[in-house]
Amino acid sequence: MDIRDADTVAPERSETRRRERSIVTALLVWGLGYAAYRTYYAVGGQLGMFGEPVSDAQFRTVNAAGAGIVLAGALLPLLLARVQLLRPAVPVVAWVVGVGCCMHAFVDGTLRFLSLAGVHPTQLPAELWQSFDRRASDLQDLLLNEPWFLVEGLLWIALGLACVRPSRRDSWLITAAGACLLLTAVGVLSGLDVIGSFRLG
């Protein structure tokens, strides 16, 4: 590499690092926001409740566990970016989490839309919900939960693209998109009872 090449590579590398830091920060803030939402219900919050849980204690426990998982997920990109030994794992982790979150958003979003349309009404677990307002549940999921998962997934995809080698970016993105489409199709068909169970939560 001659001096001119070095002069070109250095600014590009610096710009890539800045982009990574911005995405990691966005993931942290986005995750903390959703963790706070789950924590609100974990400590007994009632605003936005769309039904009557079988057990208040169980409902709080489920949300506390959810808040903990989301918090860990918010801190994960920061850990991956800061610990040099873990940096090679970023493209793999970003692929898995990005595909998983986007697929979750597409599957559940589709099923909730079909429920609102009266095509396939949402059924929440009887062991968790004594009664619930189906329309309110569908709207909350469509307007809050699934958009969160979609943005979370897209941010992880962006992080993966920023960290993967330029020569592998196209194949990385194509396989992620293909996996997302395939898993979304399986998830929707399962949710409509066309094929066997494939519950996403």
Domain segments of the chain: what residues? 3-191
Digit-coded pLDDT (tens) for 9-61? 556 677 778 889 999 999 999 999 999 999 999 999 999 899 999 999 999 99
pTM for the model: 0.88
Digit-coded pLDDT (tens) for 64-108? 999 999 999 999 999 998 898 998 999 999 999 999 999 999 999
pLDDT at 193 (0 to 100): 86
Instruction: Provide the pLDDT confidence category of residue 177 given band limits of 50, 70 and 90.
Output: very high
pLDDT at 13 (0 to 100): 72
Instruction: Provide the pLDDT confidence category of residue 109 given band limits of 50, 70 and 90.
Output: very high
CB within 8 Å of 198: residues ≥ 6 apart: 186, 187, 189, 190, 191
